[in-house]
Structure 1
Amino acid sequence: MTDRIPAKIVETIDPRQPIRLTPSQAGGTIHTRSFTGLFRNLRLYGAGALMLLYFGTVWLDWGDRQAVLWDLLGSQFHIFGATFWPQDFILLSALLIICAFGLFFITKVAGRVWCGYSCPQSVWTWIFMWAEKVTEGERNQRIKLDAAPWSANKVLRRVSKHTLWLAISFITGLTFVGYFTPIKPLVTDLLTLEAGATSVFWIVFFTAATYMNAGFIREKVCVHMCPYSRFQSVMFDDSTLLVSYDSKRGEGRGARKKGADYRAEGLGDCIDCTLCVQVCPTGIDIRDGLQIDCISCGACIDACDSVMDKMGYERGLVRYTSDKAMAGGKTNWLRPQLLGYAAMLLLMIAALVWALQTRSLVSLDIHKDRSMYRENSVGQIENIYRLKIINKSQTTQHYLVSVSSDAQLKLNEHPVITVAAGEMLDVPVSVAMLSARAPSTSEPLTFELVAVDDASIHVSADSTFVSPRNR
């Protein structure tokens, strides 16, 4: 006999009951109901902080420039007092790794809460839903408006909604482009119709992308387009906190009067009001169990808790909990994989902090002249080099150049090179062989660059000195 994988029935369907499809399952428009509660407030305050950070930071100044500016043309990335160059790309890689491990860690702890509280797609969708409420009314009014024939009232409300959507989208697109092009001159150029074609194109592009994603595509991005929704489930375990419906307590469902002895009628705590479905931004029914569409926003928890309060029942019919706790066990917080993610996250954060603290504020690249060598006026063999110096500090620096080598090599002069803040300078220098005979045809040498006013700012780079075998 072949081995069989044991199966467990997680849901039974009563054939006598009609199957009700949620808006998400039916493919219809999802109209969410207004609600209040703890998790809605957390999401509101969190989104407010993110909006303030996104829309406000771009207007801050640092000295004579924008505080945060990704200058692609100049290959300079300004973040307040620090300037980063393409040579610092490894730091961006470290930051992305930290974000990845942070996402893995939070997913292991509490599922897809990133999607429900911080993801730009979710945040902007909530903003657009608010715009719908302002212009078209509450959920029932919006459903009736959809079904109503076209009239002056419907046209006015729809135009108002789309105007507000476009305004939000335009501000979003303008702000995003403002992180790559100084936003104050950009706004002035737009108002005077002097903005460049490239800037206008990207503003229109990101305006259209925001308008389509948050206004029309919405939950389809979370369900069909986002890769995170596909691989998140493999990171869950029986101690991961997920938005869950307590079926043992809630079934069977049914309406009843407040204060009635519903247990005697064989009913559970769920009154089948479907508010949990009506507030869900992806239109799912959490009572059907864990689904790929769930973004762990907690909206259904707030809605259900409000109903439990009105009925006089205990809160938590829908709650953040783990499979282990739902089965009567205790959530395990010290899991090996979770501890591994935490350790890697702390390690990468420490490495990034160390890299930022020890990052050299000057960069030096050596390019040897294409000619092998030459003989100067006093009979010495010379090699020509070009020093590419980048001043990464925020002040003008004066650098002293020197060379070190086991052979008798020296610069024909010891130049002091002045480089302005954020400037990249290309300087030619010559190195001469002092001995009459070279030990070999190729000698290693090291160029050293030290700031005159601050010896802690220094850098070195290796190259070679080429000479004839015999002289």
Structure 2
Amino acid sequence: APVAYITIGVLTATTYTFGGLMREQVCTYMCPWPRIQAAMLDENSLTVTYNDWRGEPRSRHAKKVQAAGQPVGDCVDCNACVAVCPMGIDIRDGQQLECITCALCIDACDSVMDKLGKERGLISYATLSDYNANMAVATAGGSCSANPSLVRTDGGAFSEKLAHFHIRKIFRPRTFIYMGAWSAVGIALLYSLLTRDRLEVNVLHDRNPQFVTLSDGSIRNGYTVKLLNMIPEPR
């Protein structure tokens, strides 16, 4: 049937265009979720974050830089985080609308840190408030550019001044409001599903003729009755 061929052709063309040609551009420009997610975030929301307060200045030759007496961060500029990103962005450039929070960059960076014998978490889930607090430590309150040596003790361990995410930050008014709103939507959908009609009946009057006068003077009308079973069991 022409309709079937047209439907298959349209679906094939759109799938190839969106999935094969446009790809991540669909998420960036057509999908509304990034805007919704951005509107729901606040300074205490967990997001994928590059902790440049310990990663910068980055260098592929850390030992040479340290030997020269210059500060060097944990980032070795291997670009593993960029290589695995399905959206093709560099998380080291900061928060971006294109980020889908898949955390592939976190796994890639952690594997590199393991090979180098450094602590994981150069790229991690963090809140904006914790990031700003840690950046203040790395910059001595904003008096200088980020210096990774300021976030570590003389023994090389991280300073106790650094802020870390605590589970209690999840329990705040905003999250309870969101939880209540999504729960209400879920309950409404479940209620509509459980209370839907088990049988649908449509009675349609025949278009032509509208009525027929019989020989005895009575009138006959034609109707089409359609019954639709709304449950999977036959009845």
Please name the residue that 2:183 is paired with.
346
CA apart distance, 1:276 = 1.4
* Correspondence 1:59-74 to 2 at 5 A: none
The one-letter amino acid of 1:313's match is: K
The one-letter amino acid of 1:276's match is: C
CA distance in 2, matches of 1:221, 1:290: 19
For residues 17-47 of structure 1, the C-alpha deviation after alignment (integer angstroms, 9 at most, x for no partner) is xxxxxxxxxxxxxxxxxxxxxxxxxxxxxxx
CA apart distance, 1:220 = 1.5
Query: Are the equivalent residues in 2 in contact too, given 1:364–1:387 (CA < 8 A)?
Result: no
Which structure dedicates a bigger proportion of its chain to strand? Answer: 1
Query: Are the equivalent residues in 2 in contact too, given 1:324–1:330 (CA < 8 A)?
Result: no
Query: Are the equivalent residues in 1 in contact too, given 2:62–2:72 (CA < 8 A)?
Result: no
CA distance in 2, matches of 1:306, 1:222: 27
CA apart distance, 1:364 = 5.6
Query: Are the equivalent residues in 1 in contact too, given 2:66–2:72 (CA < 8 A)?
Result: no
Q: 1:225 aligns with which of 30, 50, 66?
A: 30
* Correspondence 1:293-372 to 2 at 5 A: 293-326=98-131, 327=133, 328=163, 330-331=165-166, 332-363=169-200
Q: TM-score, normalised to structure 1's length?
A: 0.35
For residues 255-278 of structure 1, the C-alpha deviation after alignment (integer angstroms, 9 at most, x for no partner) is 2367x9679531010111222122
CA distance in 2, matches of 1:263, 1:304: 26
The one-letter amino acid of 2:117's match is: G
Q: Gaps spanning 5+ residues in structure 1: where?
A: 1-195, 369-383, 397-471
* Correspondence 1:175-324 to 2 at 5 A: 196-256=1-61, 265-324=70-129
Query: Are the equivalent residues in 1 in contact too, given 2:201–2:228 (CA < 8 A)?
Result: no
Give the % identical residues.
39
Q: Gaps spanning 5+ residues in structure 2: where?
A: 134-162, 206-220
CA distance in 2, matches of 1:318, 1:296: 12
CA distance in 2, matches of 1:261, 1:290: 29
For residues 76-130 of structure 1, the C-alpha deviation after alignment (integer angstroms, 9 at most, x for no partner) is xxxxxxxxxxxxxxxxxxxxxxxxxxxxxxxxxxxxxxxxxxxxxxxxxxxxxxx
SS in 2 for 1:287: helix
In 2 relative to 1, CA 212–314 (structure 1 residues): closer, same or farther, beyond 3 Å? same
The one-letter amino acid of 1:241's match is: L
**Equivalenced residues, count:** 188
SS in 2 for 1:265: coil
Decide which moves more: 354-363 or 279-288.
354-363
CA distance in 2, matches of 1:390, 1:262: 84
CA distance in 2, matches of 1:342, 1:252: 40
In 2 relative to 1, CA 274–360 (structure 1 residues): closer, same or farther, beyond 3 Å? closer
CA apart distance, 1:387 = 10
CA distance in 2, matches of 1:263, 1:236: 42
CA apart distance, 1:213 = 1.5
SS in 2 for 1:244: strand
Please name the residue that 1:395 is paired with.
234
CA apart distance, 1:242 = 0.9
CA distance in 1, matches of 2:177, 2:53: 34
The one-letter amino acid of 1:360's match is: D
In 2 relative to 1, CA 349–224 (structure 1 residues): closer, same or farther, beyond 3 Å? closer
SS in 1 for 2:125: strand
Please name the residue that 1:429 is paired with.
none
In 2 relative to 1, CA 311–205 (structure 1 residues): closer, same or farther, beyond 3 Å? same
SS in 1 for 2:49: strand
Q: State which structure, 1 or 2, has the greater radius of gyration over its C-alpha atoms.
A: 1
In 2 relative to 1, CA 232–358 (structure 1 residues): closer, same or farther, beyond 3 Å? closer
CA distance in 2, matches of 1:350, 1:365: 29
Q: TM-score, normalised to structure 2's length?
A: 0.67
Give the CA RMSD over aligned residues: 3.3
The one-letter amino acid of 1:345's match is: W
